[in-house]
Chains A and B, each alone.
Chain A
Amino acid sequence: MFPGVSGFEWSVAHVIFLGAFFTVLVVILASLTAAAIRYLRAWRERRAAAIRWHAEFEELPPAERLCRHALTGTAPGRLCERGFDCRTCAEHPAFAAREAQGLVAVPNGIDHSPDRFYHRGHAWVEPQADGTVLVGMDELAERLAGPAATVELPPPGAVLDTHSIAWQVQREGAVARVLAPIAGRVEETGSREQGWLLRIRPEGKLDLRHLLHGPEVAAWFQSELERLQGLLAPAAVGPTLADGGLLVDDLPTAQPEADWDHIYSAMFLRP
C-alpha cells in the first residue's frame, strides 16, 4: 500500500504518478521545514536586527546604496553590496589607501567633527578614553528633525546591534528610526542639549572601519544634501539648481507641506 492512497497497485502508472506527487509534497514540506529551522536558529542567535538590516538594505534604491568611495569620486557609480559594512569588503582597503593620498574636504555648510566617525544613517560615534563611545545625531539629522522633535532613547543596559534601531525621533506624526552605528551595550543616555544621545560600551574590540571618517565625510554630506534637495522639491517644480544658501535649523517647520514620513525613511535608510 502506497502511503495515504487507497487502491494502490504496483503498476508503472501508479508508481510514477504517485511517486512524483509525493516527491513534490516532500520537497515543499522540506523547504518549509528548512525555513522554520533557520528561523528558529536566527531567533536563538539574536540575528533579527542583522536580518532586518539586510532585508531593508536590499530594498534601498541604488541612489541610497552608493559606495563611500563612489561619493568621493574614487570609484564612480559603485554600489555597495555589503550593507555598508566595509569591514568585510575586500576592495575597501585599496580604495581607502588611494584616497588617503589626496582627498580634500570640500566645505558644504554642514558642521562635522574630525574626531567623529559617521554612519550612513546619520548617527556619529566618538571614541572616549574610557573605552566607551558617545553616539549622537549628525548636524543634518538635527535639522531634519527640528528642535520640536521628541527623541525616544533606549534604556541603559539595552543591547544594540550594528544597524539595529537605536532610537526614534518623532515630529508631528512622522517617525524617523535612527540606526545604531555600532554594536554594544547602552551605559548611559544623554540628550540633544548635551550634544550626545547614548554612551555605549562596544562589543569586543572597537572596529570603526565601516564608518565614514576624515575628508570623505564632507563628500558624503554634499551628496546627502543633494539627495535631500531632490526629496524636498515639489513634483510640480521639477529639477532646480542649488541656490548655495544655508540650510535652515528647522526643516519641517520651513517646509510643512513636504512628505516627512517619506523623507525620513529615505534619509535615515529605512525603506
Chain B
Amino acid sequence: MADMAVSRFPEPAVLDKGWIPRGVSRCSTAQFLGWLSPWVALLLLGLYAGWMCLRDGLYHTNMDHRFVFGLWIFLDLAIIALGAGAFFSGFLFYILRWHEMGAVIRSAVVLGFLCYSGAVVVLMVDVGQPLRAWFTFWHPNTHSMLAEVTFCITCYLIVLSIEYLPLVLKNRKLSQIPSFLVFEFQLHKVMPVLAGVGTFLSFFHQGSLGGLFGVMYGRPFAYREGFGIWPATFFLFILSAIAAGPAFLMLTTWLTEKISGHRLVRGSVYRLMARTSGVLLTAYVFFKCVDTVIWLNSTSQQAGFRPWEFYAWAPFGSWVLFLEIVVLGLLPALILLRASEEGPRRWLLCGAALACAGIVVNRLVFTIQTLALPTLPFDEFRTYLPNWVEVATFLGVVAYAVIVYSLSFRYLTLFPQEKELARATARGPQQEEIHVSGR
C-alpha cells in the first residue's frame, strides 16, 4: 500500500539535495520555503519596528525614565541565560571531557550564537546610535558591571562566531573545497582553548548581569549583600543560567525532533542533560532560598522595608515568589532528577520546560518588578506593558533565530547521531535497542 501511494503521489523534489548532509533526509525544498516564509514576514516586521526606533528614537516604545528596562532587556537577560547551554556544554565536552555531550554540542553552539547575536541586536536598538557603539570600548566605565557585561558579551559573541564557522565549513558542498576543510580542521584543534575562554567570559557576564541588579542600593527589592564586590545575585545568575542551559538545549532538541520528524539524539543524552540540569537547579533553589531568607529578614529591613511591602502591589503578589522558587524551581528540579533515572521522556521535557520558565520569570522579576515597585515616599507603583514596536522588534529576533537555526539544521550536521539513529530506526526497534545499548 505504501509503495502504491508513493507511485501515485511522488515525493516532492529536494532541489538542494547536494547541500544537505549525506545519510539524513530533509523535507522538500517547497515545504522548507513554506516553513520559512511566515518567519521571514515576521523578521521583516521586526526590522521595520527596529528601524523606526533607530531612526526616531525610543518614543515609539512604552519605555520611559522609570521603565528604562522594558521587554527588550527582560528578554535579553532571559535568552542570554537560556543560551548558557552553549558555554556550559562546551565546558562539559571540551574541558571535562563528557563525550556524550558531543551529540548536542554543535546545536548548543548555534543556539548560543543565535541567543547572543539576537540579544546584541536588540541591545543595539535599545541603546541606539549603533555607529557609536565603539564608545563603550574606548570610554569604558570600569566601575560599572554593565561595562563588564558589554565587554564579555562582545568577546563571547566573537568566540561563538569562531565556533560556528567550522560547522559551516563542514557543509557537504563547502567541504569539497580542500582549503575550507583544512582550515576547519585546524580551527577545530583550538576549540578547547576557545571553550575555556567562552566559559571564563560567560561565567563573568552571566554573573555581572545579576550583579548589576544586586548593587542597586536605591532599589531595595533587588539589592543584595554578598562577597567582596559581588552581590549574591552575581552567583545566583550564574547558577541559574548553567542550570537552565541544558534544559533549554533539551527542549530545542526535542522541538527539532518533533518538527523534522527525525530522532536526533539518544535517550541517554537527554537523561544526562536532565540529570545535570536537575542537580544544578536543586543547588540553585537551595541558595535562592537562603538568599531570600537573608534578604527578607535582614537586607530589606536595613533599608527600611518590611518584607510584605514588596508584595503588596498587584499583580506582583507573594505568589510570584512562590511561583519562582517552588513551582518553577523546586518542582522541575525534582522532576528532572527523578525522570533522569527512569520514566518517560515527557516528564523530562516537562521538567525542562518548567526550569526554563523559571529562569524567564526570575529575569522578569529582576527587571520589570524591580522597576515597578516604589522606593521613595513620593513614588508610586507603576505598571508597564510593551507596545507593538517592542514586541515586533523582539519577535523579529525570534524569527531571525528560527530562520538561521532551520537553515543550519537543513544544511549542516548539527546532530551527529541523527544518521546512525535513522539507520537503526530503519533496521527496526528491536535492533535499534540492541545497537544503542551496545554503545
Name A's B-contacting residues (CB within 8 A): 4-7, 13-14, 17-18, 21, 24-25, 27-28, 31-32, 34-36, 38-39, 42-43, 47-48, 51-52, 54-55, 59, 61-63, 77, 230-231, 233-236, 238-239, 257, 261-262, 265-266, 270-271
Known: A6-B139, A51-B182, A54-B185. 4 other contacts (CB 8 A): A6-B138, A24-B200, A35-B183, A61-B419
Given the known A-B contacts A55-B181, A271-B23, are A24 and B201 also in contact in the complex, defined by CB atoms under 8 Å?
A: yes
- Taking a contact as CB atoms under 8 Å apart, the answer to whether A28 and B159 are in contact is yes
Chain A: minimal CB distance from B97 (Å): 16
- Taking a contact as CB atoms under 8 Å apart, the answer to whether B22 and A38 are in contact is no
- Counting from the closest, the 5 A-B pairs by CB-CB distance are A265-B22, A238-B428, A31-B190, A38-B186, A235-B426
17 CB-based A-B contacts, threshold 8 Å: A5-B137, A6-B138, A7-B139, A13-B142, A14-B142, A18-B140, A28-B197, A42-B185, A42-B186, A47-B182, A48-B181, A52-B182, A55-B185, A61-B423, A257-B6, A265-B22, A270-B22
Contact partner of B155 among A25, A48, A271, CB < 8 A? Answer: A25
Residue of B nearest to A264 (CB): B22
Contact partner of A42 among B182, B420, B431, CB < 8 A? Answer: B182
- Taking a contact as CB atoms under 8 Å apart, the answer to whether B181 and A5 are in contact is no
In whole angstroms, how far apart are the Cα atoms of A205 and B228 in the complex? Answer: 68
Chain A: minimal CB distance from B14 (Å): 11
Is B255's CB within 8 Å of the partner chain A? no
Tell me the total A-B contact number using a CB cutoff of 8 A. Answer: 113
Given the known A-B contacts A6-B138, A21-B151, A235-B426, are A39 and B197 also in contact in the complex, defined by CB atoms under 8 Å?
A: no
In whole angstroms, how far apart are the Cα atoms of A32 and B155 in the complex? Answer: 14
Chain A: minimal CB distance from B176 (Å): 10
Residue of B nearest to A27 (CB): B197
- Taking a contact as CB atoms under 8 Å apart, the answer to whether A262 and B23 are in contact is yes
Is B425's CB within 8 Å of the partner chain A? yes
Residue of A nearest to B1 (CB): A236
- Taking a contact as CB atoms under 8 Å apart, the answer to whether B183 and A39 are in contact is yes
Chain B: minimal CB distance from A145 (Å): 17
Interface residues of B in 401-439 (CB under 8 A from A): 413, 416, 419-420, 423, 425-428, 430-431, 438-439
In whole angstroms, how far apart are the Cα atoms of A5 and B184 in the complex? Answer: 34
- Taking a contact as CB atoms under 8 Å apart, the answer to whether A5 and B189 are in contact is no
- Taking a contact as CB atoms under 8 Å apart, the answer to whether B189 and A62 are in contact is no
- Taking a contact as CB atoms under 8 Å apart, the answer to whether B427 and A62 are in contact is no
Is B343's CB within 8 Å of the partner chain A? no
In whole angstroms, how far apart are the Cα atoms of A18 and B151 in the complex? Answer: 10
Measured between beta carbons, the chain A residues less than 8 angstroms from B148 are 17
Residue of B nearest to A13 (CB): B142
Residue of A nearest to B158 (CB): A28
Interface centre among B23, B147, B438, by most A CB within 10 Å? B23
Number of interface residues of B (CB under 8 A): 49
Chain B: minimal CB distance from A163 (Å): 13
Given the known A-B contacts A239-B431, A265-B22, are A52 and B181 also in contact in the complex, defined by CB atoms under 8 Å?
A: yes
- Taking a contact as CB atoms under 8 Å apart, the answer to whether B138 and A230 are in contact is no
Measured between beta carbons, the chain A residues less than 8 angstroms from B438 are 77
Is B178's CB within 8 Å of the partner chain A? yes
Is B17's CB within 8 Å of the partner chain A? yes
Residue of B nearest to A11 (CB): B142
Interface centre among B23, B148, B182, B426, by most A CB within 10 Å? B182
In whole angstroms, how far apart are the Cα atoms of A6 and B200 in the complex? Answer: 25
In whole angstroms, how far apart are the Cα atoms of A47 and B159 in the complex? Answer: 27
Is B143's CB within 8 Å of the partner chain A? yes
Is B179's CB within 8 Å of the partner chain A? yes
In whole angstroms, how far apart are the Cα atoms of A257 and B189 in the complex? Answer: 40
In whole angstroms, how far apart are the Cα atoms of A234 and B5 in the complex? Answer: 15
Chain A: minimal CB distance from B87 (Å): 13
Chain B: minimal CB distance from A23 (Å): 9
Measured between beta carbons, the chain A residues less than 8 angstroms from B22 are 261-262, 265, 270-271
Measured between beta carbons, the chain A residues less than 8 angstroms from B179 are 39, 43, 48
Interface residues of B in 143-202 (CB under 8 A from A): 143, 147-148, 151, 155, 158-159, 162, 170, 175, 178-179, 181-187, 189-190, 193-194, 197, 200-201
In whole angstroms, how far apart are the Cα atoms of A48 and B158 in the complex? Answer: 27
In whole angstroms, how far apart are the Cα atoms of A265 and B179 in the complex? Answer: 22
In whole angstroms, how far apart are the Cα atoms of A251 and B271 in the complex? Answer: 42
Given the known A-B contacts A5-B138, A38-B189, A265-B23, are A28 and B162 also in contact in the complex, defined by CB atoms under 8 Å?
A: yes
Chain A: minimal CB distance from B4 (Å): 12
Given the known A-B contacts A38-B186, A48-B181, are A238 and B427 also in contact in the complex, defined by CB atoms under 8 Å?
A: yes
Measured between beta carbons, the chain A residues less than 8 angstroms from B6 are 257
Measured between beta carbons, the chain B residues less than 8 angstroms from A47 are 182
- Taking a contact as CB atoms under 8 Å apart, the answer to whether B23 and A13 are in contact is no
Chain A: minimal CB distance from B26 (Å): 12
Chain B: minimal CB distance from A17 (Å): 5
Is B2's CB within 8 Å of the partner chain A? yes
In whole angstroms, how far apart are the Cα atoms of A233 and B424 in the complex? Answer: 12
Residue of B nearest to A7 (CB): B139
Measured between beta carbons, the chain A residues less than 8 angstroms from B413 are 59
Interface centre among A18, A24, A235, A266, by most B CB within 10 Å? A24
Chain B: minimal CB distance from A211 (Å): 25
- Taking a contact as CB atoms under 8 Å apart, the answer to whether B187 and A35 are in contact is yes
Residue of B nearest to A61 (CB): B420
In whole angstroms, how far apart are the Cα atoms of A63 and B190 in the complex? Answer: 29
Chain A: minimal CB distance from B266 (Å): 13
Interface residues of B in 1-38 (CB under 8 A from A): 2, 6, 17, 22-23
Residue of B nearest to A259 (CB): B25
Chain A: minimal CB distance from B34 (Å): 23
Measured between beta carbons, the chain A residues less than 8 angstroms from B426 are 230, 233-235, 238
Measured between beta carbons, the chain B residues less than 8 angstroms from A27 are 193, 197
Given the known A-B contacts A13-B143, A61-B420, are A55 and B184 also in contact in the complex, defined by CB atoms under 8 Å?
A: yes
Measured between beta carbons, the chain B residues less than 8 angstroms from A7 are 139
In whole angstroms, how far apart are the Cα atoms of A73 and B430 in the complex? Answer: 23
In whole angstroms, how far apart are the Cα atoms of A257 and B296 in the complex? Answer: 69
Residue of A nearest to B422 (CB): A235
Chain A: minimal CB distance from B264 (Å): 14
In whole angstroms, how far apart are the Cα atoms of A35 and B184 in the complex? Answer: 9
Measured between beta carbons, the chain B residues less than 8 angstroms from A270 are 22
- Taking a contact as CB atoms under 8 Å apart, the answer to whether A230 and B182 are in contact is no
Chain A: minimal CB distance from B193 (Å): 5
